[in-house]
A and B are shown apart, each in its own frame.
Chain A
Amino acid sequence: MNELFNLAPLILVFPIIGVLFNGLVGRRFVDHDRKTGERWSGWFATIMALSAFVVVVLLNLALHANHFHAETVMLWDWIVIPGQGLSIPWAMQIDTLSVAMMLVVTGVGSIIHIYSIGYMHGDPDYSRYFAYLNLFLFFMLILVAGNNYLVLFVGWEGVGLCSYLLIGFWHERLAKDGTMKNANAARKAMIANRVGDAAMILGIILTFWVFGSVEFNHVFEEAIHIFESHEEMVTLVSTNIEMAFSTALFAITVLFLIAATGKSAQLVLHVWLPDAMAGPTPASSLIHAATMVTSGIYLIVRSNVLYELSRALSVHSGTISSSDIVALVGASTALYAGLIAFTQYDIKKVLAYSTVSQLGFMIAAAGMGAYVAAMFHLITHAFFKALLFMGAGSVIHGMEHGHHEVAHGHHGHDDDGFDPQDMRYMGGLRKLMPVTFWTYLVGALALAGIFPFAGFWSKDEILAHANANQGEYGLFLVLFILLALAAVCTAFYMGRQLRMVFWGQPRHEAARHAHESSPIMTFPLVLLAVFGTVAGLFNLPKVLTLEFGWSLTLEHWLEHSIQTFELMEEGILAHVPHTPTSLIVEVAALSLGLALVSMGLAFYVYRDKPKTAADPDPTQKIPGLWSVFGRLPIDSFYMKLLVPWFNRFSAWLGFKFEWSFWHDFFHERVIRDTFVWFADLSANVLDAQGVDGIVNGLGSVTRWLADGIRVSQTGYARTYALSVFLGTVVLLIYFLWPYVMR
């Protein structure tokens, strides 16, 4: 094992130092001297993130030196129950998959730290923000580095907590109608995630029951072993329960899918992500676009063996496999969220739905078995979506400053319902914020899948996979159509956004006075724009069966962590290298053409509309789009139907069942009255007449005895001596009695 692997724990140590610094003393620094304090607080956190990044790069090198073989870094035994076979170590798995994730997390994370230094400037809770950000890095790295499901779950819950904390970062801010918008958004995220997390823990328990371990390697080896030995039934650990292997596998994988839908905002648990935009924009960009929301994809890719086996088993039995469900969920989400994005005015909400949609792409790819494509899209998406969010943050920042200037200039601020995030108030920002514009343009083109930006390559690989395999499974045609439509939607709403924000005339005074953000914010934008442009190089596909020097890097990198199987006769698996996807020229041309047309259409539709902030959106004329998707059907279902009924049910439980029945009737009548009756009986009958008599009797005997003995305490020394003498005599008699009697 390479020495460098021993550095692995450092990736957790650095962020936690940052948390401690900012959590414990950061605030004092900031309060003491705003300027230097912010510098200390922000840069300390950033340096911690960068240090973690450097360590991850070293781990990367170590893997190279190790010929890509995975290494497990044992830290300590965590949960050990001897005799029950339960032994869960706290260990870090350093393999190509986890390191790829770590690179994204720490790399994008570091850039966002730098950006935050500028963005959060002046915020009263400056150091708290950075403490949360470092805490998030800490948990996210636990999530991706753990070598078993339980450690992964620790990170999973930890990032959920950080997400909650950051969404509710400005929890005291109220919406215009007085609701606690931000706090509610945080709670919504927490509750939606709870559903997924419950499934996650059930899945982990079931995994342990079936395979006797929660460590990735053991689970996968055991699963392949069971599969290859044709055992129909498995006995659950520590029980006598037997379970069909296919059922167990199906249950585990579906439970993990539900977990992923919670964390990665898929149908039907996606509702929290758009609301999560209430948090600070850099946090949204890091957590709710680039990293945390991709942990669902990571979970599925990590469990690829289980999903592949499920697929293999279902081919046997001819039923739908859990991987197919994964793909369907992902593809539907991709299209559904893409359509909703049409109807949003909030610049961040559009991006949020776009994130949901892109996550759908990744999930669909994972479900189709295109794990590398999923990871590839995950990485490129991390770059350009972070870029877009930060660009949006820059725009919002500019709008706020513009608004501030206007209000300041007029010396009388009238509330005209201005919202710095509303695209209807923007327009023509291209000239005023050139750096933001150009970088945003790169991000938007990458997202829309325009050649040669990163998104083109990764999205195309997913589409190509759906297309290439459609002969094998009939389902893949449906998936291909859904995903292609989602891609068209993506291009359209991004065109709409670009047109509304950067072209045309300013539709508000604030937009007229907006100006470019400070270099500390634009520098990360430029950096990410470069990545957004060239990230496609990570995994250039084969073109016409030719391989170039740069191509398929990620493919080769990840094939050491991802196993692919081919079903042989009698259900024996063959381990085959992951099939690299080659560029299918027709598919690429089709998707590029559709994207260009769709974007052009958007520019045409919004060429001069809306003219003022109050104008209706042109797409409102399309029947069904705004009336169905604009109303957020699933949100509405939850809020109008599920939540009221749930509230009614809990009110019934609380007032009727708990209070009236359980408390009033059961406790008061049944328990209390019985108890009182018994206590009455004991006190007045048993105790007063029975026990008290005895006790009082004992008491008086004791007192009488005490008085009697006290009388013998005459105070005369001669009495005392007599007592000694008599005692001696009695002792002597006792001791000598046997001798006298002999």
Chain B
Amino acid sequence: MEFTPPEINLLIVAPVLIIMAAGSLGMVIDLFMPDGKKGWAVWLAAIGLLLALAQNIALWNGNYETFIPQNGVAMVVMDNFAIFLNATFLLTGLLVIPLSRSYLQRTGLEKPEYYMLLLFSISGMMLMGMANDLILVFLALEVLSIPLYIMCGMLWPRPESEESAMKYFLLGAFSSAIFVFGIALVYGATTTTAIPLIFDAVAANGLNAMIVTGLAFLMVGAGFKVAAVPFHMWTPDVYEGAPTPVTAFMSVGAKIAGFAALLRVLMLALPQASGEWVTAVAVLSTLTLIIGNVVAIRQGNIKRMLAYSSIAHAGYILIAVAAAADNPSAGVSSALFYMFAYLFTNLGAFGMVIALERNYGEGNLLDDFKGLAKRHPWLSLAMAYFMLSLTGIPPTGGFSAKFYVFGAAIEAELYWLVLIGVITSVISGYYYLRVVYLMYMFDGEGQLITGRALQFAVFVMAISTLVLGLFPEGLFNLTAEATLSATRLLAGG
């Protein structure tokens, strides 16, 4: 048998390569740097992210494919969908860095490895966005997860941090196993792992029990990453125990990557099974919305509260995924929009939590927010604004996002799901606005520890949220283009 090498164009995967190279370079530099010098890692990471972002944007509208083996189906696609997701991940990284610095110094965690692991995790997430093959999806899942496991436990020997890492690792491995089992079953049924070929095989031979079993397992694996009920239980413990910037990063990056995997599997590999999975997704969404929002009410720890809040937001995005079954363009693009808006709002809120945390685990209670408005009027205003955005009150990015998601669901005639979404949004107002209430109506001793970088990042996120609230059209058009270029594959183009 004659071997032909796959077609490879490294420029197309350059954004990922830049991130990986920056990470590796950082590891090597670390070896030869004296212990005292640590600032370089921040700049290396930031420059790497910016370079990758630039190259990523330059590829917009290119619809490139690479790593094309003999069967002619590319393993890596760089369509607008992938580019949009990559940009989301890179922005997440760029915003997490300014949030991290002073926190890491406070908690004695300032090690170059932190930033390098961040980069490696981001490279996994990006790979997830670009993957056109289930093997690659799984690889990406692992590449993004393993650095996260380590980052969660970086505050050893503090037991909460170790517990967090341990639980995340155990359950993550458990779900990864289920996911890879799902891949195996799909491979068994279709004899391929390439997403377009799976689509073709299903189109030719129809569904069978093996495929739907695989589908169920794949949904479990992705559902674990996005923290959908009932695969969510790790979330509060892990979020609470992990260093707060890591929590912030996980709550945004890992979740979006999970949705990227879910959308690849559901929308691109198995859209013909939508009759099967739409109800399952809708039910998962309902459970996620109710449990996430209801339990969040009774949390006294802001990190736990935001953990449940992030579970609840996964529920809203699941509404969009369910809507995508009937109405792919509106559903997928509203999901993308929601994730992008959620990125700014949630990181902004976490930025405030980080600023409030005096030392690891100190200053994480809701009561610590009391009286902040008097001492830090601007940042409190930003926090209040983020809370409004998370609740979904106009004019915020959160509102625009919910608006598009509910709009897509109504177009798909999922009225009851919208009803649940609206009711739970109202419930969510209770715990989000309580933070505002505590900040403005009480006196307290809470003190924020802020550097210029953090203030700047919070400012940028508040402005972005405002812009998304006032002028959502531009971004929505981008997400629509991204969706179009991904579903182009569906149409066989």
Are A and B genuine complex partners?
A: yes
User: Which of B231, B297, B427 sits near A724, CB closer than 8 Å?
Assistant: B231
Q: Which of A389-397, A561-569, A732-740 contacts B (4 or more CB under 8 A)?
A: A732-740
Once the chains bind, are A727 and B231 in contact (CB under 8 Å)? yes
For the complex, is A546 an interface residue (Cβ under 8 Å from B)? Answer: no
Once the chains bind, are B298 and A706 in contact (CB under 8 Å)? yes
Once the chains bind, are A734 and B224 in contact (CB under 8 Å)? no
For the complex, is A469 an interface residue (Cβ under 8 Å from B)? Answer: no
User: Which of A710, A720, A724 sits near B167, CB closer than 8 Å?
Assistant: A720
Shortest C-beta distance, B143 to chain A (Å), equals 22
Q: A703-B298, A727-B220, A732-B213 are in contact. Are A717 and B171 (CB under 8 A)?
A: yes
For the complex, is A731 an interface residue (Cβ under 8 Å from B)? Answer: yes
For the complex, is B200 an interface residue (Cβ under 8 Å from A)? Answer: no
Would you list which residues of chain A between 685 and 742 have a CB under 8 Å from chain B? 702-703, 705-707, 709-710, 712-713, 715, 717, 719-721, 723-724, 726-728, 731-732, 734-736, 739
Would you list which residues of chain B between 183 and 231 have a CB under 8 Å from chain A? 208-209, 212-213, 215-217, 219-220, 223-224, 229-231
Q: Chain B residue with minimal CB distance to A734?
A: B280
Once the chains bind, are A735 and B276 in contact (CB under 8 Å)? yes
Q: Which of B15-23, B233-241, B356-364, B368-376 contacts A (4 or more CB under 8 A)?
A: B233-241
A717 CA / B236 CA spacing, docked (Å): 12
Within 8 Å CB of A721, what residues of B?
Answer: 170-171, 174
Once the chains bind, are A735 and B230 in contact (CB under 8 Å)? no
Once the chains bind, are A731 and B219 in contact (CB under 8 Å)? yes
A736 CA / B212 CA spacing, docked (Å): 7
Within 8 Å CB of B230, what residues of A?
Answer: 723-724, 726-727
Chain A residues bordering chain B, tally (CB within 8 A) = 25
Once the chains bind, are B213 and A736 in contact (CB under 8 Å)? yes
Would you list which residues of chain B between 165 and 183 have a CB under 8 Å from chain A? 166-167, 170-171, 174-175, 178
User: Which of B213, B223, B233, B280 sits near A720, CB closer than 8 Å?
Assistant: B233
A706 CA / B299 CA spacing, docked (Å): 9
A231 CA / B413 CA spacing, docked (Å): 61
Once the chains bind, are A731 and B216 in contact (CB under 8 Å)? yes
Within 8 Å CB of A702, what residues of B?
Answer: 294, 297, 427
What's the dominant secondary structure at chain B's contact region? Answer: helix
Within 8 Å CB of B99, what residues of A?
Answer: none
Write the A36-78 contact mask toward B (1 if CB under 8 angstroms, else 0): 0000000000000000000000000000000000000000000
Once the chains bind, are B209 and A717 in contact (CB under 8 Å)? no
A702 CA / B427 CA spacing, docked (Å): 9
A731 CA / B298 CA spacing, docked (Å): 29
For the complex, is B131 an interface residue (Cβ under 8 Å from A)? Answer: no
A94 CA / B216 CA spacing, docked (Å): 81
Within 8 Å CB of B175, what residues of A?
Answer: 724
Within 8 Å CB of A723, what residues of B?
Answer: 230-231, 233
For the complex, is B59 an interface residue (Cβ under 8 Å from A)? Answer: no
For the complex, is B295 an interface residue (Cβ under 8 Å from A)? Answer: yes
Once the chains bind, are A739 and B295 in contact (CB under 8 Å)? no
Once the chains bind, are A717 and B166 in contact (CB under 8 Å)? yes
For the complex, is B291 an interface residue (Cβ under 8 Å from A)? Answer: yes
Within 8 Å CB of B167, what residues of A?
Answer: 717, 720
Shortest C-beta distance, B273 to chain A (Å), equals 9
Q: A717-B171, A723-B230, A724-B230 are in contact. Are A703 and B212 (CB under 8 A)?
A: no
A724 CA / B276 CA spacing, docked (Å): 20
Once the chains bind, are B174 and A724 in contact (CB under 8 Å)? yes
Shortest C-beta distance, A723 to chain B (Å), equals 5
Once the chains bind, are A732 and B216 in contact (CB under 8 Å)? yes
Once the chains bind, are A707 and B298 in contact (CB under 8 Å)? yes
A129 CA / B444 CA spacing, docked (Å): 58
Within 8 Å CB of A724, what residues of B?
Answer: 171, 174-175, 178, 220, 224, 230-231, 233
Within 8 Å CB of A703, what residues of B?
Answer: 297-298
Within 8 Å CB of B174, what residues of A?
Answer: 721, 724
Within 8 Å CB of B178, what residues of A?
Answer: 724, 728
Within 8 Å CB of B220, what residues of A?
Answer: 724, 727-728, 731
Q: Chain B residue with minimal CB distance to A718?
A: B170
Within 8 Å CB of B427, what residues of A?
Answer: 702
Within 8 Å CB of A731, what residues of B?
Answer: 216, 219-220, 280
Once the chains bind, are B294 and A719 in contact (CB under 8 Å)? no
Shortest C-beta distance, B404 to chain A (Å), equals 28
Would you list which residues of chain B between 276 and 312 have a CB under 8 Å from chain A? 276, 279-280, 291, 294-295, 297-298
Within 8 Å CB of A709, what residues of B?
Answer: 291, 294-295
Once the chains bind, are A739 and B171 in contact (CB under 8 Å)? no
A709 CA / B292 CA spacing, docked (Å): 10
A703 CA / B297 CA spacing, docked (Å): 8
Q: Chain B residue with minimal CB distance to A719?
A: B233
Once the chains bind, are B209 and A736 in contact (CB under 8 Å)? yes
Q: Chain A residue with minimal CB distance to B230?
A: A727
A658 CA / B236 CA spacing, docked (Å): 63
A592 CA / B220 CA spacing, docked (Å): 113
Q: Chain A residue with minimal CB distance to B178?
A: A728
Q: A721-B171, A731-B280 are in contact. Are A739 and B217 (CB under 8 A)?
A: no
| A705, A731, A732: most-surrounded residue (chain B CB, <10 A) | A731
Would you list which residues of chain B between 219 and 265 have a CB under 8 Å from chain A? 219-220, 223-224, 229-231, 233-234, 236-237
A709 CA / B236 CA spacing, docked (Å): 13
Q: Chain A residue with minimal CB distance to B233?
A: A720
A710 CA / B427 CA spacing, docked (Å): 17
Q: Chain A residue with minimal CB distance to B229?
A: A727
Q: A719-B233, A720-B234 are in contact. Are A735 and B170 (CB under 8 A)?
A: no
**Can you show 26 pairs from A to B with CB atoms below 8 A apart?**
A702-B294, A706-B298, A709-B294, A709-B295, A710-B295, A710-B298, A713-B237, A715-B237, A719-B233, A720-B167, A720-B237, A721-B170, A724-B171, A724-B175, A724-B178, A724-B220, A726-B230, A727-B220, A727-B229, A728-B216, A728-B220, A732-B213, A732-B216, A735-B213, A735-B276, A736-B212
Q: List chain A positions with a Cβ less than 8 A from chain B.
A: 702-703, 705-707, 709-710, 712-713, 715, 717, 719-721, 723-724, 726-728, 731-732, 734-736, 739
Give me 12 other A-B pairs in contact (C-beta within 8 A), A724-B174, A727-B220, A739-B212 excluded.
Answer: A702-B427, A703-B298, A706-B297, A712-B233, A720-B233, A723-B231, A728-B178, A731-B219, A732-B216, A734-B279, A735-B213, A735-B276
List 5 A-B pairs, minimum CB-CB distance, nearest first.
Answer: A727-B230, A720-B233, A706-B298, A739-B209, A735-B212
